[in-house]
A = this chain, B = another copy of it.
Amino acid sequence: MSFRILKFSGDARAGLLTLPHGEVKTPVFMPVGTSATVKAMLPRDIHDLGYKIILANTYHLYLRPGLNVLKKFGGLHGFSGWHGNILTDSGGFQVFSLSDIRTIKEEGIEFKSHLDGSLHFFTPSSVIEAQDIFGSDIRMPLDVCPALPCSDEVLKDSVDKTIKWARISKDIEPDKKKGLLFGIIQGGISKAERERCCKELIKLDFPGYAIGGLAVGENLNERLEVILLLNEILPQNKPRYLMGMGKPEDIIDAISRGVDMFDCVLPTRNARNGQAFTRKGELNLKNACFSTDDNPIESECECYTCRNFTKGYIRHLIKAREILASQLLTIHNLFFYNTICKEARLSILKGDFHEWRRRFLKNFDK
């Protein structure tokens, strides 16, 4: 288990992260597999796209199929048939965004299941234990993620608990051969709180750091300032993971500010809504203008979808509510996100990341 930076280009980094289920080249995008499946994708096809790591959600898996089932299958790998790496989050974010009722206590978070209303209690140690049962290659400690804007008092309290719970989690960190426990930095858009949280976590010497609590109500500049600040404070030799982001331009911006890892539902969720990512921006394939379009989504794209299918056919599948529409668009969008990270990495290795970024964004803004 190691992280090695091979090359810098400005602040952008090309690295190699060694995990229990194989090497991961960074910058890396991780497809979201909420319930132990990346929606509409055969695991074989995720692998064939070049992905070596996916994300799954502790909150969802804890509720369904539940820890007893996952224990019986020897964890997520045995359960899902995915042979690459798996990162699981702490469940904290979903408790805040999905659960009907939640109470933040000193020892953890009490919440009602969005599935059946049953009452549950997440503590730092219960969440670590769950991820141990999952056999996650990268694990996250329980944190408190306030919706923005919030009062100074709420923000300070969320950082206090995040630090305290990180400490408890670190004490029961897994054997590094089985998985890495990252620290999660909270603090909203307050420079002081972000700095405080980050520095306290660095003292605990995590093998990697996640930037949480963004894309929850702040504007773009506020977000970039936070990433810029943390880029200056975080140790260079540890991987940095920006949680839950984002659009292609967000990812490229964050790479330029020293971030290595990303996850987001956009490529998969938007695919199921009929949207394709392209080098010129997003396409809504539901539009009637595509009904007789016999070109692929992108002529130069080498994904299975673009090599074999036209926009007109995909538009028909969307209108007819055919599952194949979701399958083909998910393949294309995940190919696209992987390509962005691959190209970014190659340009960093060649030392011309900023030129690649300029060209990509110029085209993309069209």
> CB within 8 Å of B: which residues of A?
35-37, 39-44, 60, 64-65, 68-69, 72-73, 78-81, 291-292, 294, 304, 308-310, 312-313, 316-317, 319-320, 322-324, 326-328
Contact = CB atoms under 8 A, between A and B. Distances in A.
Contacts of A72: 292, 294, 312
A326 B73 CA distance: 22
Contact of A322 (B39, B73, B294): B39
Contacts of A313: 36, 73, 79-81
A324 B79 contact: no
11 contacts: A35-B317, A35-B320, A35-B322, A42-B304, A64-B316, A64-B319, A65-B319, A69-B312, A73-B310, A323-B326, A323-B327
Contacts of A42: 304, 324, 327-328
Contacts of A65: 291, 312, 316, 319
A69 B323 contact: no
Nearest to A324: B37
Nearest to A83: B308
Contacts of A327: 40, 42, 323, 327
Given A35-B322, A40-B323, 19 more contacts: A35-B320, A36-B313, A36-B316, A37-B322, A39-B323, A39-B324, A40-B324, A42-B328, A44-B304, A64-B319, A65-B291, A65-B316, A69-B312, A72-B292, A72-B312, A78-B294, A79-B310, A81-B309, A327-B327
Contacts of A43: 308
Contact of A41 (B73, B78, B324): B324
Contacts of A79: 310, 312-313, 316
Contacts of A317: 35, 37
Given A79-B313, A81-B308, A312-B79, A294 B73 contact: yes
Contacts of A319: 64-65
A6 B326 CA distance: 42
A321 to B, nearest CB: 9
Contacts of A39: 322-324
Nearest to A307: B81
A36 to B, nearest CB: 7
Nearest to A63: B320
Contacts of A322: 35, 37, 39
4 smallest beta-carbon distances between A and B, as pairs: A40-B323, A35-B320, A81-B308, A37-B324
Contacts of A292: 68-69, 72-73
